[in-house]
Structure 1
Amino acid sequence: MPYPSPTARPEPVRFEHAASGFGIGSASPRLSWRIPSAPEGFVQSAVELELTDEAGDVVTERVDTSEQVLVAWPFPPLESRARACVRVRVAGQDGSGWSDWSEPAALETTLLDATDWSARFVSPRTVGGIGQPAPIVRGTVELHGEVVRARLHITALGLHVTSINGERVTDEELAPGWTSYAHRLRFRTHDVTALLREGANTIEVLLGNGWYRGRLGWDGQRALYGERLAALAQLEVAHADGTVRTFGTDATWGARASGVLADDLYDGQTTDLRWDPDGPEEPVDVLDEDLGRLVPPSGPPVRAVAEVPAVALFRSPSGRLLVDFEENVVGWVRLRVRGGAAGQRVRVRHAEVLERGELGVRPLRSAEATDDYLLAAGSNTVAVLEPSLTFHGFRYAELSGVDEAQIESVTAVVLSSDLAPIGSFECSDPDVETLHTNVARSMRGNFLDVPTDCPQRDERMGWTGDIQIFAPTASFLADCSGFLTSWLADLAAEQQPDGSVPFVVPDAIRGPEGPAAAAWGDAATVVPWVLYERFADAGVLAAQFDSMRAWTDRIAGLAGKDGLWAGGFQFGDWLDPAAPPEDPAAARTDPDLVATAHLVRSAEIVARAAEVLGRDEERSRYTDLAATARDAFAREFVSPSGRLHNDAPTAYAIALVWDLLPTPEQRAYAGRRLADLVRSAGFRVATGFVGTPLITDALTIAGEPHLAYRLLLERGCPSWLYPVTMGATTIWERWDSMLPDGSINPGQMTSFNHYALGAVADWLHRVVAGLAPAEPGYRRILVRPIPGGWLTSAAARHETPYGQAAVAWRRSDGRFLLDVEVPVGARATVHLPGSATAVEVGHGRHHWDVEEAVPQARPVRTVRDVIDSPWLWDELVSVAVETGLAADSAVVAGRIAPYLDAPASALPALVPPLLRPAPDAVRARLEQIVAEAPAVPS
């Protein structure tokens, strides 16, 4: 009799990217599992997968594999509506035998083919037109006999809120979400068994404009996808006697107006609580819609993921009643009001910030962001006022038509795609922790069915450039694998025949034919590759490969045979802080440099994807294309010394991180030059969308991580921590969305919830904490923390596909303490600071307590050394500011930048004339500072 395996039984199987197997939309879903614990040295060598179908028949398949993430389905393909359970057990190379079986994971497929639908889209005949109250379509189902199972498959043209017998079918909001409706319309399957009863059952579907028919974009366009709202619902009921009956939307359904008088995602919702639910009903029209575009979901729906109670109710300087929720959120306000006269109008206006104590609505542009309610009579009743067909981005709300005495409570209902949080970061600097919290909150607010740019103004679109730079951060913070897989399918669907990628996906702005903007269109290659790296999903590469290749071919065609992509429209290094508010594309970095560098990057990614997929011909072709574009970059933009013709921080960051400099000498020079540019800016950020995700990595690669920390920890404007000092709770669109005097940036494009510039969090995870993937899915983990700045500790945790990985370090009494956790199925390569030797470790918890490697110090010889010494620099800036020689550190840095190589001893004589004539006392103080200068850590 064999001994039981010491390996813990696996956790229940996951199907594709879903935690639950209910409503799965694949006939052969890939399977993943985690092993909670195993003996030291355990390596999975084989698995047994067991499928038990609805009839109780059991099939077991053995697979000799060490893989446990997205393993191919080993059983025959499933049919629509199939119900089964799957278990797994594992064995290791050590010969210790099989683990116990996992708990069974239930699986139920949804409708897998258009022919499974007998229902048809129905649309109100006259009610619910544009500008009219939102319609309700309603049908009645007669049931006799015990119901053992009931499934409702549903979607809509527009938004739907669906109920059976007065009870909501689901807690999802803004369903069915936003996809490229002409190509892909998402439906979901719901278990409604508990909502049905013997006899008559009423199904009601409230339809809203949503993205389908509401306003989209800043030009006032509406009904981009169609003018008629419609519902598609199919109810399938299984009875105890074995019979199955199917009911669906058809010509027998009726329609009537609801109490929602107006609804729009930008403008808000108006609701009349006096509405009579028994109003007149009219027939519906059956629409001839293509059911072949129906797709099941690959990610979770939008839900109310949190509730934030109001922290303050107060009057503005003008006497308006304002509410502060103390954090910037996305969703709506739930207001409980007692009493009120019939027809009394209660209004809720929303804004992200206050300006001069009043609601700051200018960043909304034309979006009204206002919800109105007409109360029913009831002096003692409590009315709950909240919308269901809109959303807003806000921290503050203005209430009118109601006084404090009537208000029972005010709550912000937070909406987001319900993505499981899988990553965290903490460190010894509270402001950096707040920065990271703000990044996560901005992601939550803008990952609302599509990765939007902002949630508050007349835009809220899936800008490709934003998610391209943010995807690595996003994939660490939350399980966005299915969410982004769905979005990429829309990108491919919207891609033009020549391979061009729209600026936004879904393409709501219907921009120019053949749009080709570097960093924006490159989402077609970068995002699939990030999903492969972070979630080990080669399937997304296979699904997107034609799209990836088409985009790269498109920009290669624009570049021509010499590989230089020049000319044409580009966003460039968008929102470079040097750009004027009215022209965010006017960056310091040459757009042709940005474009050619992205051609190199995309070609390399396609070559790597081809290698993963075993497509050798494409691998060779795109490797050659990358080499041609790389040569063009070096020829056009790089001098023999390594100095770039475009002497800007983003240019050097691109060249260093993407390895675009041919020789070691050029790379060394570029690193030194980038460091000097950072010094010359006084450690203020000088990069836009393209450079910001790269600048700290570039400094690290250049051997100047201490400057990366100085950049991170700067609090002047522009910097990552400046918004934190201004009370920001989300990431701003502009470095100075709010000016130091509390006024809103004068640009017409200003948001206070815009995740793109938060892409630096990826560097916090990988470099500051030291937790990075070395192989797809973190099967091999790179642990290489690089401490710096004033941080005494940092930690990161991440739920990898194999289980939790964690790194935590701290400095204490000259010791460096490091803790590492590696999940079963993964390994880690650990680099201790100051050690040239890496340590390989397997799964489990590992601890190191070593003498801290003290950086070698160099004497203060030059002005550069003065800037590199935090103590000296702070002293110098303090003297300059206190005595009126300069307004801030940026002015000081800019003035002395040409003299970085001058002797430090010359500084007292050098600084005052550069800034402004100063008394002898200032010079004496500067001499004292230099004389007392400590050595500079290197």
Structure 2
Amino acid sequence: GLEEPRGIDPGGVVNVSWILESSKLATFQQAYEITLKSGSRTVWRSGRVESDNSVRVPLGGNLQSGTAYNWSVKVWDNHGEVSKPVTASFSTGLSPDEWKASWIGIDTGNKSVCPSPVYFRKTVRAGGGVKRAVAYVTSHGIYELRINGVKVGEDYLTPGWTSYQKTLQYQAYDVTEAIKKGGSEITALVCPGWYASGMGWGEPQNRLRYGSDLGLLFQLEIEYSGGRRQTVVSGPDWEMSRKGPVKDATYYDGETIDLTESYQWESATLLPAPASELVACVSEPVRVREVRNSVRYLVTPKGEKVIDFGQNLVGWERIRIKGRKGQVVKVSHAEVLDKDGNFYTANMRAAKVLSTFVLSGGEDVFEPCHTFYGFRYIRVEGVEGDLNPSDYCAVVADSGFDAVGGFSCSNPLVNQLQSNIYWGFRGNFVDIPTDCPQRDERLGWTGDAEFFFRTATFNGKVDNFFRKWLRSLRDDQTERGGIPAVIPDIFFGRMGDFACGWADCATIIPWQHFRAYGDISVLKEQYPSMKAWVDFQLRSCNNYLLNTLKQPYGDWLFWSQDNDRSGRSAVTSPALAAQCFMAGSIDIVAKTAQLLGKDADASYYRAELQKVKDAFLNEYVTPGGLVSSDTQTAYVLALYFDMLPERLRGQAADRLAANIKDYGYHITTGFLGTPHICEVLSEWGYSDVAYKLLLQETCPSWIYPVKLGATTIWERWNSIKPDGTIVGGMNSFNHYSYGSIGDWLYRYAAGIRETSPGYKTFVIDPHPGGGFKYMEAYTRTPYGKIRVKWEADADKIRAIEFTIPVGTTATVRCPDGQMRTLGSGNYGFGVELE
């Protein structure tokens, strides 16, 4: 859940969680007592509850809207220890009937044109004795709220991207201190954002928008110490200006800031209220996480002035500059330099990714924070002489994730690979999970999110982030149960809804979310959607074979070896892959139905699953165990989704390992096969082969880009060729899908794997190999931090240290080969190796 959230839904159930710590071994909670207060008034007290549950415990009491609460918990453990109460807080938002504000703004009436930013203002005079003041805000477009010129809150790109035609988020900000000062000028800037910038690909005239308007909805609730209340709302008594310093701000083309531009205020225009449901924000907002200094200044062979930040990242630049009034400075963005060392932007396609600054004549600081860019390098034009690197910074923004995991080992190339995975994760988790953060795309591709989900859980706290995104998935699911290729669906159904392996995110992500966080409410929310997707697939089958729908993507960006003249060395039948993913989805729905007490559904889907597997065996597997396509991906999917009878599984694993060896221990899988290949190898006793894949240094491999200086994961195995040539067209240098190897690093190489939801129980069962001398990993679970560090000689573990959180149990493979089941605490085991 969210940490001390503001403005949550007052009509929903509020669940609270806490993490226990103890210096004693095998500690678990025996009982708890929760107290809920509003100010000094006790709203509800649980009394002592005999339970070991500390995750998502529901609060009692009737919550009031627009109210601040604090809650505390006291815990008794099995050693007789009693904790001191620990307090946290939250506040509720507005109920639907409490919104009194009106929408104000502009409407061009033409969705083919991007509207220009619009400013709003209103002066508010509060009386004395202000006790609490909360602003509730949303917009069509993205807004920036200020009071007396000071930015309110730390959030950016609000209200975030949802399926706007169905759902629109609002945010709540405590502005008490600002309002207490008396007369306050409230200003808001609304820019096009995801709503109206124009998304999709191609030239601007072909981009798609939710609307032709930019609008603001604002409501300020002021509570005085004597009990009086004052409400200030957006309406026709506000002013707006279509002119101001921020002249343009779109996600693909960039932002223009003109400090010579004056406002032209006029009365605000009322807009009709949209039909979308106003909902409280349920995930962490986009925030600035880091400001990086430049690492070098260079002049390219073409004479371009370039600043290098040393890391491919996502955010925007901050520059300090002094020049003539009206002087124009342009800043372009790039991920890489070409083979000759020149600035390279061809992979941005039709996106201009350009910041334009018009100087005031004094010393100016520019920060184009109403868009975002994916970049390592910036090119600066319009500045005379050499650049001063200290005047240029990169502002890194993402969805406010604290790092919950860490990984390090004795191989520096693998450490860099993990760093690349982490930076790709940060850069593509900007309010929604995107495929890439830089070119004319930046969309919520379903497959990319699905393939990377488990890796994401080791790198950041993504439970709320995906709960929000899954709501958009429900909103955009088609009537027949299909799932659009991108969520939110800016294409409005034009991209199709049947990309198997991609649309299976509808079942796979909720299930993996449950396994990672132990939150069954997500399964409850998503079950109708999960069921609808599986039913759609079953209806589309021909004798339980899903070969009737033409699959648009399949094993996307698989690798064909150069010496394979037919170019089909790694072509996996899309229908075969679809059959495997359909089986996986049916299995998940059956298990979910069982958990939710829907026994009839569970029985039905278990029976359907067997028929789907029987059809797969008859259609795609020879009596001798050869799987059709005979590719790495075919064997990976057949084994991962348990499509084969027991008598054929070992043969399939052998064929997979042999195929990899035949290609010189190179990977040939695409997006469908890559996330699971090393896991399947380890499960079937081929961890040595998995390590050879991991450590392969020539293309295609994970380490190949690292050797070429990559600082994020590439979209293609060969985004840059060995001779330095950059592959043209669709070529992102920050595309996290192949970073799914991170899951194997944590779960198999380091050995941390959950055996029950939320890591209430788990195993620590490392798979040493690859000549690694040591490996260390940790991850923060709902119960606390799990940590493991092992040391090895000749791929045999000689020492292991680990931490088990309070309230959990782990089964650990110790260096002597024995499996030991242990309670919480810090442990170490070792053995003498000959």
TM-score, scaled relative to structure 1: 0.85
Distance of 1:492 and 1:681 partners within structure 2: 42
Q: How does 1:872-887 map to 2 (within 5 A)?
A: none
Match of 1:431 in 2: 413
Distance change (3 Å), C-alpha of 1:342 and 1:815: closer
Aligned counterpart, 1:272: 258
What are the residue-to-residue correspondences of 1:17-36 with 2, within 5 Å? 17-26=1-10, 27-36=12-21
Once the two structures are overlaid, the 10-residue window that deviates more, 479-488 or 64-73, is 64-73
User: What is the match of residue 604 of structure 2?
Assistant: 621
- Counterpart pick for 2:675 among 679, 682, 693: 693
Distance in 2 of aligned mates of 1:456 and 1:131: 19
Is 1:762 aligned to residue 743 of structure 2? Answer: yes
Q: Is the 8 A contact 1:125 1:283 kept in 2?
A: no
Q: Which residue of 2 aligns with 1:69?
A: 55
Please tell me the residue identity of whatever aligns with 1:230.
G
Tell me, yes or no, if the aligned pair for 2:26 and 2:825 is still in contact at 8 Å.
no
Offset at residue 585 of structure 1 (A): 11
Superposition pairs of residues 901-916 of structure 1, within 5 angstroms:
none
1:676 Cα offset (Å):
0.7
Partner amino acid for 1:484? F
Equivalent of 2:503, from 518, 521, 526?
521
Q: Cα offset for 1:636?
A: 1.0
- Where do residues 578-597 of structure 1 align in structure 2 (5 Å cutoff)? 578=560, 588-597=571-580
Give distance in 2, aligned partners of 1:539 and 1:18.
Answer: 15
Does the residue aligned with 2:57 lie in a helix, a strand or coil?
coil
- How far the C-alpha of 1:386 sits from its partner, in A, is 1.7
* AA at the equivalent of 2:656: L
Q: SS of 1:777's equivalent?
A: helix
Deviation (angstroms), 1:235: 0.7
Answer whether contact 1:683 1:714 (CA < 8 A) is retained: yes
- Structure 2 residue 240 is matched with structure 1 residue 240: no
Determine if the alignment matches structure 1 residue 201 to structure 2 residue 184: yes
Of 91, 99, 111, 1:117 maps to 99
Identity of aligned residues (%): 36
Aligned length in residues: 822
Alpha-carbon distance, 1:784 to partner: 0.6
Partner of 2:361: 377
Q: Following the alignment from structure 1 to structure 2, what is the Cα–Cα distance between the partners of residues 422 and 681? A: 36
1:435 and 1:721 in contact (8 A); partners too: yes
Q: Distance in 1 between matches of 2:124 and 2:545?
A: 64
1:60-139 alignment runs, 5 A limit: 60-61=45-46, 62-73=48-59, 75-92=60-77, 94=78, 97=80, 99-111=82-94, 113-124=95-106, 130=113, 133-139=116-122
- Paired with 1:229 and 1:720, the residues of 2 have a C-alpha distance of 44
Residue 711 of structure 1, aligned match among 682, 693, 697? 693
RMSD of aligned residue pairs (Cα, Å): 2.1
310, 316, 322: which one pairs with 1:332? 316
1:194 to 1:425, Cα distance in 2 relative to 1, 3 A: same
Shift of 1:40: 3.4
Deviations 1:891-937 (A, max 9, x none): xxxxxxxxxxxxxxxxxxxxxxxxxxxxxxxxxxxxxxxxxxxxxxx
The one-letter amino acid paired with 1:323 is I
1:148 equivalent in structure 2: 131
Letter in 2 for 1:270: T
Identify which range, 135-144 or 783-792, moves more after superposition.
135-144
Which residue matches 2:463? Answer: 481
Aligned to 1:556: 538
- Report the counterpart of residue 164 of structure 1 in structure 2: 147
Call closer, same or farther: CA 1:786–1:834 in 2, change over 3 Å: farther
- Residue in structure 1 matched with residue 808 of structure 2 by the alignment: 826
| Matched-pair contact (CA < 8 Å) for 2:7–2:91 | yes
CA distance in 1, matches of 2:147, 2:329: 29
Counterpart of 1:490 (choices 468, 472, 491) is 472
- Find the aligned partners of 2:791 and 2:473 in 1 and give their Cα distance: 43
Partners of 2:664 and 2:580 lie apart in 1 by 27
What pairs up with 1:412-561 in 2 under 5 angstroms?
412-512=394-494, 515-561=497-543
Task: Summarize the Cα distance change of 1:741–1:405 in structure 2 as closer, same or farther, 3 Å threshold.
Answer: closer
C-alpha distance in structure 2 between counterparts of 1:598 and 1:377, whole Å? 61
| Partner SS, residue 33 of structure 1 | coil
Counterpart for residue 211 of structure 2: 226
Contact 1:364 1:458 in 2 (8 A): yes
Q: Is the 8 A contact 1:132 1:261 kept in 2?
A: no
Q: What residue identity is the alignment partner of 1:607? A: A
1:364 aligns with 2:348: yes
Q: 1:318 Cα deviation (Å)?
A: 1.1
Are 1:317 and 2:274 an aligned pair? no
Q: What CA distance in whole angstroms lies between the structure 2 residues aligned with 1:352 and 1:91?
A: 53
1:630 matched to 2:613? The reply is: yes
Distance 1:606 1:635, change over 3 A: same
Cα deviation for residue 238 of structure 1 reads 1.5
Distance in 2 (alpha carbons) for counterparts of 1:133 and 1:515: 33
Distance 1:787 1:629 in 2: 36
Pick closer, same or farther for the CA change 1:215–1:584 going to 2, 3 Å: farther
Structure 1 SS opposite 2:308: strand
Using the TM superposition, give the Cα deviation of residue 132 of structure 1 relative to its aligned residue in structure 2, in angstroms.
6.0
Looking at structure 2, the residues matched to 730 and 125 of structure 1 have their Cα atoms a distance apart, in angstroms, of 40
The aligned residue for residue 391 of structure 1 is 372
**Cα distance in 2 between the residues matched to 1:648 and 1:133:** 51
Aligned counterparts of 1:98 and 1:292: Cα–Cα separation in 2:
50
User: 1:739 offset after TM fit, Å?
Assistant: 1.0
Cα distance in 2 for residues equivalent to 1:579 and 1:620: 45
* Alignment-derived partner of residue 246 in structure 2: 260
Q: Distance in 1 between matches of 2:197 and 2:43?
A: 50
**How far 1:609 moved relative to its partner?**
1.1
Corresponding residue for residue 775 of structure 1: 756
For residues 142 and 788 of structure 1, the distance between their equivalents in structure 2, rounded to whole angstroms, comes to: 69
Judged with a 3 Å threshold, the aligned counterparts in structure 2 of structure 1 residues 760 and 313 are, in CA distance, closer, same or farther, namely: same
Map 1:731-742; keep pairs closer than 5 Å. Answer: 731-742=713-724
Gaps of 5+ in 2: none
Distance, in Å, in 1 between the alignment partners of 2:239 and 2:135 is 18
Deviations 1:739-786 (A, max 9, x none): 11112113x110000000000110000110111111110100111101
- Asked if structure 2 preserves the Cα contact closer than 8 Å seen for 1:50 and 1:60, the reply is yes
- Counterpart of 1:299 in structure 2 is 283
8 Å contact from structure 2 (residues 515, 754) kept in 1: yes
Kept in 1, the 8 Å contact 2:447–2:503? The answer is yes
Residue 600 of structure 1 aligns with an amino acid whose one-letter code is A
For residue 629 of structure 2, give the secondary structure of its aligned residue in structure 1: coil
Indicate the residue corresponding to 1:603 in structure 2.
586
Aligned-residue offset at 1:736: 0.7
Provide the TM-score with structure 2 as the length reference.
0.95
**8 Å contact 2:537–2:546 — kept in the other structure?**
no
Tell me, yes or no, if structure 1 residue 288 matches structure 2 residue 272: yes
Alpha-carbon distance in 2 for matches of 1:763, 1:413:
31
Quick check: which has more Rg, 1 or 2?
1
Correspondence for 1:857: none
TM-superposed deviation, 1:584: 12
Residue 83 of structure 1, CA deviation: 2.4
Residues 533-589 of structure 1 show CA distances to partners (whole Å, capped at 9, x for unaligned) of 000010000000001111111111112443444441331110002299xx9999511
CA shift for structure 1 position 623: 1.2
Q: Which has the higher contact order (CA 8 A, sep 6+)?
A: 2
Report if the CA contact (8 A) 1:28-1:78 is conserved: no
Q: Which residue of 2 aligns with 1:12?
A: none
Secondary structure in structure 2 of the residue aligned to 1:675: helix
Structure 2 residue 831 is matched with structure 1 residue 850: yes
CA distance in 2, matches of 1:439, 1:589: 26
